[in-house]
Chain A
Amino acid sequence: MTRLVYFAWVRERIGKSEEDLDLPASVETVGDLLAHLRTLGEEYEAALEFPDAIRVAINQEHAERHERIAGAREIGLFPPMTGG
């Protein structure tokens, strides 16, 4: 099981702030994960409608699309950051 955590409008659109998912073995990279999540329902489809706008963190560190998610304890999905 992998813990997924969502923030800001990604959290609002998916309708939850976190969940534990059993990811299929075919989901190897961050890019694969985004594509897979979009198949889970219309709320995911709405949240990930523009995948380029989504930022991903593996174990609380920013991750690029090609990075592998094997062994990740926690994966965060969120929009571009607007702090400061």
Chain B
Amino acid sequence: MPVPSILRPIVSVQREDIDTRAIVHALTDGRTDVGALVTFTGLCRDEAGRLEALELEHYPGMAEAELTRIGEEAIGRFALLGLAIVHRYGRMEPSDQIVLVAATSSHRQAAFDGANFVMDYLKTSAPFWKKEHGRDGTEGGWVAARDADDTARLRWKQD
């Protein structure tokens, strides 16, 4: 009997834009067992007109490794049937896509929770940093980490 393969998340850290359709196809084509697909896309905001662009820096190698660790934990914890995490780096302008998380499961709750969990962990432990460029030509500086992100992560803590 073949040993069942351990499900690994699809992880990509890339400069190019995110092809959500291609990711959705990869997770659902021919999958008659999948009953739910949740996708989350994070976009670059203009911060009420103040922001010209974001510069996303990452730690090559560790970014992929950390997203994979988070993804594997989510797959195990929520019994996901599939998971993809795509994060961009480089320069992004308002309305550009920054991150995609897509999760599939038999029933909707696992896919919702899995995608939510991945985003909460990614925010606080995936090595990416945002620098702002203002519309007035100023370099706005590095975005500070938010306490709210730490709090969001804590709600997944298990005893």
Range for the number of chain A residues in contact with chain B: 10 to 19
A84 touches B122 (CB 8 A): yes
Is A39's CB within 8 Å of the partner chain B?
Answer: no
Interface size on B, residues (CB 8 A): 27
Is B129's CB within 8 Å of the partner chain A?
Answer: yes
Q: Give the complex CA separation of A81 and B131 in angstroms.
A: 11
If A82-B145, A83-B130, A84-B99 touch, whether A61 touches B65 (CB-CB below 8 Å) is yes
Residues of B within 8 A of A57 (CB): 59, 62, 127
B142 touches A78 (CB 8 A): no
Q: Give the complex CA separation of A76 and B61 in angstroms.
A: 11
Q: Which residue of A9, A76, A83 is within 8 Å of B99 (Cβ)?
A: A83
Task: Kindly provide the distance from the CB of A63 to the nearest chain B CB, expressed in whole angstroms.
Answer: 11
A81 touches B124 (CB 8 A): yes
For the A-B complex with A81-B125, A83-B128 known, give 16 more contacts whose Cβ atoms are closer than 8 Å. Answer: A8-B57, A8-B142, A9-B142, A57-B59, A57-B62, A60-B65, A60-B66, A61-B62, A78-B59, A78-B127, A79-B145, A80-B144, A81-B126, A82-B144, A83-B123, A84-B99
